[in-house]
Amino acid sequence: MSPEDLRCIRERVREVAERIQPLLAPVPGLARRNAPAHVWLGIRERFGEEWRARAEPASVRRFVDWIERHPNADYDEWDETPIIRQDSFTERLF
């Protein structure tokens, strides 16, 4: 993913987090929900740890837009299959 794509995604996450902060349902044990963390966790859960290197930017943006429309939904409810580039995958050594 290019630096420009990452910048656009960061900005979009910030915008969405500001909009959904008052809409997030309370969670026992948390004084206040952290909307930016909620969005970033969703990206990592749906696209994997190496999402920056492997995910298609348009797919990530669609997921962030979905979170904006469904702030309290479970990440698995997103019905689109994440687009992951296999050609950029690098295996990790133990």
Query: Tens of pLDDT along 5-41?
Result: 999 999 999 999 999 999 999 988 888 899 999 999 9
Assigned token pair, 36:
């930016």
Query: Burial letters for 31-44: b for 16+ Cβ neighbours within 10 Å, e otherwise?
Result: eebebeebbbebbe
Q: Indicate whether 85 pLDDT > 90.
A: no
Nearest CA to 46 out of 21, 72, 71, 64 is that of 64
How do residues 47-77 score in pLDDT, each as one tens digit? 999 999 989 999 999 999 999 999 999 998 9
Query: Which residues have CB under 8 Å from 68's CB, separation 6+?
Result: 16, 19, 20
**What's at 38, amino acid-wise?**
H
**Mean pLDDT for the chain overall:** 88
> Model confidence at 93, in pLDDT bands (50, 70, 90)?
very low
